[in-house]
A and B are shown apart, each in its own frame.
Chain A
Amino acid sequence: MITTLRSGSGSAQSPRSPSSQPYLSVSVTDPVKLGNGVQAYISYRVITKTNLPEYQGPEKIVIRRYSDFVWLRDRLFEKFKGIFIPPLPEKSAVEKFRFSAEFIEMRRQALDVFVNRIASHLELQQSEDLRTFLQADEEVIYLKSYSILDLIFFLVNADVFSAAQTMERLRFQETGIFKKKPTDFMQIFKDVQSKVSDVVLGKEKPVEESNPEYEKLKHYVFELENHLAEAQKHAYRLVKRHKELGQSLSDFGKAAKLLGACEGDSLGKTFSELGVKSETLSIKLQKEAHQLLMNFEEPLKDYVRAVQSIKATIAERANAFRQQCELAETIKLKEINLYDSCLLFS
């Protein structure tokens, strides 16, 4: 299970941790809009405070953007199979809200939580990619933003090593072409092959290694996601309702004030007061909506994402198992072949 944040190796946010204990605390702050037009993006300031020896110095500040976080997560997912990687906030579905203050704040909070969870995880915090992420200066990062041109460059120069690295890096960027491993195509082919042979040979192949306890857990996780997702959906709607109620109260207040102006005397004053109070209430409601969003809906969404991440790991587990089975099959086939050839030649 995902360890709760801010436990384990020292509290993440407070800079006043005792220096005798090893600690690693990160904060993601200060979103700034860079670039213009279609290419505009938000950059965040990532501040690392640590006394671990692997890190350069007690404090380091770097600038990162969302895609860099995605890179980190993908790397961790690749390297640390079987460990639940903390979830990332989603890309913005609607273009319009990409730069709304609320969305940016939500994302910043989620990114902060993300990095801190990694930093608090006993295994994940040892990752070299994490160190790169937290420490590497921008120039190196730009270098890391490889493009296909770089790949061609390296190939032309017969720089096989860099080419391989680039290919791998490219895979984790959002170019799309390298999303699938080249070996994946072979994999699909083999899948079809094995399925056909299964049908022909009438064999029941286990999908993944399993026992009743594991099944129960798996079932639990899947169900949990449904429930959490529904709760989150309603939570989000509730936030929206708060905003709507606030808005309508404000409008109603204005109308009441106008009506009061019409009526005059004590009735007019009463209406005006009602209007003023309504508007005050409306402001409070908007604030409440914001609080609700940040402190209730977002954490809930975070848990939904976490469960989804768990599901991804479960899928990976099944994948690994299947690969193992197939490789075992291949070995058997090859052994049979070898035996046959031996027979032939003997």
Chain B
Amino acid sequence: MMGSDNQGFEEAHPFASREEMENLVLDDDSTVTANKSYSNYRSATSLSPPILVTPADSDPLLSPSLYPNAPDHNNNHNHHSSYIEPPSYADVIFSPFDQNSGNDNNTGNEINGIESTNQFPDSPISPSSSSDYLRITVSNPQKEQETSNSLVPGGNTYVTYLITTRTNIPEFNGSEFSVRRRFRDIVTLSDRLAESYRGFFIPPRPDKSVVESQVMQKQEFVEQRRVALEKYLRRLAAHPIIRKSDEFKLFLQVQGKLPLPTSTDVASRMLDGAVKLPKQLFGESTAVVLAPHEVVQPAKGGRDLLRLFKELKQSVANDWGGSKPPVAEEDKEFLENKERMNDLEQQLSNASQQAETLVKAQQDMGETMGELGLAFIKLTKFENEEAMYNSQRARAADMKNVATAAVKASRFYRELNAQTVKHLDTLHEYLGLMLAVRCAFSDRSSAMLTVQTLLSELSALQLRAEKLEAASSKIFGGDKSRIRKIEELKETIRVTEDAKSVAINEYERIRVWKAFVSLSAFYGYIALSKSAKDASLIALLEFSYRKSMSPFAFNGHIGCLANNLTLPEENNRTELERLDRERQADFLNMLKGFVVNQVGYAEKIANVWAKVAEETSGYANDST
């Protein structure tokens, strides 16, 4: 405890719950002159004290100092007693913010609630539904060697993480189990989910961040990744449809190698497509036709280059062609919303960037302030030791006050920053959501494009068939070769018609379901699930999704449940509205928290300096 106000600007974490985080990060703080290689907001995140800490309790001066080096024996001015000032306006507001956010806004709780479960590692309570839970922890990163035969001796090393799941959901085998997974497995999981749950708002996975992995310190990077992975998996677990998906279950349970097909990279896909292309262009006509099961995937990123070209042609025709496409996106509201979401995403991305810069600047400020304070403390010590006149000692004492004030201010800046990071994190979270929204919107657009392309093709094929028939009917007895061609064409037309129906179905499904299910799902609950018919409703949704049930049939089933369900189209609208409402509530909360935080700490820092100014006011009166 002694001398901790001369220790500088390290953080004490009285309630820190992550041991690894502490060990990894706090080491660097103790060296005064160490180059701060990481001052981005992510490291600030890992420095943050837990939410429930109130300022009076978290007084670092009272908690055991973690850095016993260089105790100051000359410390006659013990400032500990004077540190606990009467609670200010800021103190009162701090704690309630963090606790109330959970109550008035389920969404906010969800996003913060995922964090708050840190504080109670043993509590299995998930905020989403009443009885079943799925809690995931990511821990214990370990380096492992690539065992497969590699050309390079000494092999490739990679990091695996221990993923522990606790659940009482029956679909899982068991209530607690762990597996080891590497980052590549997460990428695979995310890609497979994106394919299977097209049109849904799937939470975005953590970045691959190739550059960062080289630039940052290994430990730090691993820690950053671990945190990100945990967040991602917890979001998946909160999604009522995805949490029950096969892919997710496999990921969480199966020991050893992940039994999901790995994603091939773009290059090999293009290669496959290029191989297929000659066959498509010059081969049998049946090879040209789009098989129905392929229709449900977007053309982009697939192996079918020909389809890619066709759809590209169609989209160009849509944009520049004179004639209207056979079927078009009719929902004006959808288009408006798409515009709005795009706009919002852009601004959000910008704001998110600036927020990161702000956090970094605040962090730098705190650090430099602390360094300055320390330098002056050293100077003070030196002066005291070498002083030849008493006036020197007097000046030294004053200087020490200033220096201590600087150190205190520096500590406040760091605390301020830690809180700021948490608040502004909301911006980043929503940015992630907006990306998912954009994907969902584009899923719908690309499905529409597929439909349009197929329709154009269909009409072109039918035209050809008519022409051929007209030509062959002019020849008496029919033209053998022409008749054969017509037969082939008719076959092609039939298959294409099938594909068209599937494409339309897919489009409808996305249009109707994506908003209805995904929006609410992303927040971890479905509007209807608040009622007692939770389990059966979710089961029904799952069932209907898998069977690609038409919306109308589903309607009938819902009618049986006699619930307050309006038509899917209306739910579409209301879900978007809910998205807006909740986003606004979250943002308001964020802003309130951010501002209150700034004000509170500004007050504290101002007090510190005011005190020093008062103590040294004698000089002001003397000088001219």
Instruction: Indicate whether A and B interact.
Output: yes
| B368 touching A238, Cβ below 8 Å | yes
| CB-contact partner of A241 in B348, B365, B378, B382, under 8 A | B365
Q: Is A265 an interface residue (CB 8 A)?
A: yes
Task: Tell whether, in the assembled complex, residue B344 and residue A262 are in contact, meaning their CB atoms are under 8 Å apart.
Answer: yes
Bound Cα distance A259, B362 (Å): 22
Distance of A280 from chain B, by nearest CB (Å): 13
Check B357–A252 contact: CB distance below 8 A. yes
Residues 197-218 of A at the B interface (beta carbon under 8 Å): 216
Chain B residues lying within 8 Å of A13, measured Cβ to Cβ, are 624
Q: How far is the CA of A248 from the CA of B375 in the complex (A)?
A: 27
Question: Would B375 and A238 count as touching, CB distance under 8 A?
Answer: no
Partner of A6 from the list B362, B382, B624 (CB cut-off 8 Å) is B624
A259 to B584, CA, bound (A): 12
- CB of B144 within 8 Å of the partner chain: no
- Which A residues from 8 to 31 make CB contacts under 8 A with B? 11, 13-14
The one of B360, B364, B584 in contact with A267, judged by C-beta atoms closer than 8 angstroms, is B584
A160 to chain B, nearest CB (A): 50
- Are B351 and A259 in contact, CB atoms less than 8 angstroms apart? yes
Among listed B232-240, B559-567, B587-595, interface-contacting one? B587-595
CB within 8 Å of B: which A237-255 residues? 237-238, 240-242, 244-245, 247-249, 251-252, 254-255
A325 at the interface (CB under 8 A from B): no
Within the complex, the shortest CB–CB distance from B504 to chain A, in Å, comes to: 34
Interface residue total, chain A, C-beta cutoff 8 A: 41
Stretch at the interface among A67-75, A161-169, A222-230, A337-345: A222-230
A242, B382: Cα distance in complex, Å = 28
**B348: which A residues are within 8 A, CB to CB?**
259
B591: chain A residues at CB < 8 Å are 270-271, 274
Evaluate whether A241 and B368 lie within 8 angstroms (CB atoms) in the complex, with A262-B347, A265-B584 already known: yes
* Contact, CB under 8 Å: A256 / B371: no
Let me know if A231 and B595 touch, CB within 8 A: no
Q: B350 an interface residue at 8 Å Cβ cutoff?
A: yes
Provide the bound-state CA to CA distance between A261 and B347, in Å.
Answer: 9
Total of A-B residue pairs, C-beta within 8 Å? 101
- Is the CB of B372 closer than 8 A to any CB of chain A? yes
Q: Are B595 and A255 in contact (CB under 8 A)?
A: no
Residues on the A chain within 8 Å of B347, using CB: 255, 258-259, 261-262
Question: How far is the CB of B344 from the nearest CB of chain A, in Å?
Answer: 5
Residue of B nearest to A12 (CB): B624
Provided the pairs A227-B375, A241-B361, A258-B350 are in contact, do residues A252 and B355 lie with their beta carbons within 8 angstroms?
Answer: yes
A263 to B364, alpha carbons, bound, how many Å? 31
Q: Shortest beta-carbon distance, B299 to chain A, in Å? A: 32
- CB–CB B375/A230 < 8 A: yes
Can you list, as one digit per residue, whether each of A254-296 has a CB less than 8 Å from chain B (1) or not (0)? 1110110111011100110010000000000000000000000
Taking a contact as CB atoms under 8 Å apart, the answer to whether A255 and B350 are in contact is yes
Q: Which residues of A contact B340 (CB under 8 A)?
A: 262
> How far does the alpha carbon of A167 sit from the alpha carbon of B360 in the complex, in Å?
56
Is B584's CB under 8 angstroms from A238's CB?
no
Q: Is A142 on the interface with B (CB-CB < 8 A)? A: no
A234 touches B351 (CB 8 A): no
Known: A234-B371, A255-B347. A267 touches B357 (CB 8 A): no
A318 CB to nearest chain B CB (Å): 21
B375 cross-chain contacts in A, Cβ below 8 A: 227, 230-231, 233-234
Bound-complex Cα distance A270 to B586 (A): 13
**Cβ proximity bits B341-374 to A, threshold 8 Å, 1 near / 0 not:** 0011001101101110110111011001101100
- Partner of B354 from the list A14, A242, A244, A252 (CB cut-off 8 Å) is A252
Closest to A11 in B: B624
Contacts of B25 in A (CB 8 A): none
The 4 closest A-B pairs by CB, nearest first: A234-B372, A248-B361, A255-B354, A255-B351
**12 A–B contacts, CB within 8 A, in A order:** A220-B388, A223-B382, A237-B368, A238-B365, A241-B361, A244-B364, A247-B361, A252-B354, A252-B357, A259-B351, A261-B347, A263-B344
Further 16 A-B residue pairs, CB within 8 A, beyond A251-B357, A258-B350, A259-B350:
A220-B388, A237-B371, A238-B369, A241-B368, A242-B365, A244-B365, A245-B362, A252-B355, A252-B358, A255-B354, A261-B347, A263-B344, A263-B584, A267-B588, A274-B591, A274-B595
